[in-house]
Chains A and B, each alone.
Chain A
């Protein structure tokens, strides 16, 4: 039996936790329940809920039949995989190179700037950089005499341009986290490898990379969650020139943006709530699968 003594401070503990408990009931439990309720109804927020019609799972079916949703899904999937498969490896390589530099505080700071300013400002600056007529990117390309692109203003290259900025914007924080991981690796391991005649490439693949596994898992999972919810960047990049973000012709439409537009532009609250749940289940199941497989590969290597 647990002694009374152990629980003697129970009251004060509850007192310390009262605000979070109330907060989570009001801002997590109630909204989720309410969301489920309206996802089964057709509602435009203008009429009282009591007069809305119950439509069952129709909203969910409508989401899956919506071509724009499928487009947004494809774009988000491409964006997320590029961040995971190109952005993260790049940041690990830069972190390893940085750790070889003696005075790297300045460089780490420079790398970090994009991670601390509003993402929408990054999007807007890059929208200017990408401008086909006077944008500096095309200007530089012209100096080298290479063919220029219309970047964000061409449906074929628009999502590619967004992804490029996404990689650029997440590089700094990913590099910093990898760098901390690299610094934790004991130097003695490298010295031992040198005695055995290992070169830089071998050291990277046989020492650095295996020991970075936990960091890489962490980066993968956080980047997956963040890129899946990409919103600010697309609004900044494509919301200019008085255009609706997600264009041209939905070629940069992404999931959270489309959900936002469904709710607050088209006022389809039921459909938007259904979409939110579908997105959540998608994100949740992908994260779980991801975590499981990462854990498995970690175990196999030790």
Chain B
């Protein structure tokens, strides 16, 4: 499983001659560390990094917060339309992303009074050149709401809420001061999985970057590598670029492996 990655890293440190040598050179004689600065100079990787980081962090923050609130409402409160809303939310998990690209692209281009648009949403490019276009379609996630709801149902007894209410705490205060601290593990799980998924997401950023290249995220940037370097001549540089791109998700996974795996378990086993 790991061999392609070992090959990736070792080849990214090769010279051009070593790369195509026959018989093949598996480990470079002298590691060519300057392959990396060469890539960063030619391709705006730092820009891709900051785009990816800003987008993924914002999405993660929003998803975690909305999941916590909505999950709690579904788990602990009774209200009209509860069943209807919950089944509606749940059914959106089934809706694939490709259904939304065309209408959402159009929507973002027509937002009135932004990006040179008139009050009728015509004449300009709307939000298409703002990072918001990469963030807004992802700020709520049914899966996260569902996961949070499961957690609140299982691990927070109603008596705990009643006790806090008798002490005179307001609902909002109970949620912030009492519930959020208890639910750290599940919120961490939602956050980690959302971050990695968003970091790796290609489809929508690719659509957006075709008209707004300055919004390219890292996966889009990886695709750009093949355009910046002739793949028949500078393979080692492309591979160095790929290595730079896979470091962040790998690091996050190593650091927070526990939460990631438990999240996979929660979605996998509670089905």
Taking beta carbons and an 8 Å cutoff, which residues of A are in contact with B? 6-7, 9-10, 12-14, 16-17, 19-21, 23-24, 26-28, 30-32, 34-35, 38, 45, 48, 109-114, 116-122, 124-126, 128-129, 133-134, 136, 139, 168, 171-173, 176-177, 180-181, 184, 214-215, 217-218, 225, 228-229, 231-232, 235-236, 239-242, 256, 259-260, 263-264, 269, 272-273, 276-277, 279-280, 283-284, 287
Contact = CB atoms under 8 A, between A and B. Distances in A.
Contacts of B253: 112, 116
A229 B98 contact: yes
A111 B73 contact: no
A173 B260 CA distance: 11
A179 to B, nearest CB: 10
B226 A128 contact: no
A216 to B, nearest CB: 11
B106 A34 contact: yes
B227 A118 contact: no
Given A116-B249, A136-B24, A180-B269, A23 B139 contact: yes
A124 B240 CA distance: 12
Nearest to A23: B140
Interface residues of B, number: 82
B209 to A, nearest CB: 11
B200 interface: yes
A16 B4 contact: no
B103 A124 contact: no
Nearest to B20: A134
Contacts of B163: none
A16 B102 contact: no
Interface string B89-123: 10010111111111111110000000000000010
Contact of A117 (B88, B137, B250, B260): B250
Given A38-B102, A239-B223, A260-B101, A17 B73 contact: yes
B36 interface: no
Contacts of A26: 107
Nearest to A5: B78
A34 B98 CA distance: 14
A113 B250 contact: yes
Given A180-B268, A241-B226, 6 more contacts: A27-B137, A116-B260, A125-B8, A134-B24, A236-B222, A276-B98
Given A128-B239, A129-B4, A121 B246 contact: yes
Contacts of B232: 241
Contacts of B191: none
A129 B7 contact: yes
B13 interface: no
B264 interface: yes
26 contacts: A12-B73, A14-B73, A16-B70, A19-B69, A19-B140, A20-B89, A20-B145, A24-B88, A27-B100, A34-B107, A116-B196, A117-B200, A117-B246, A120-B219, A121-B245, A124-B238, A129-B7, A171-B1, A177-B264, A241-B231, A259-B98, A264-B207, A269-B102, A276-B99, A280-B95, A287-B94
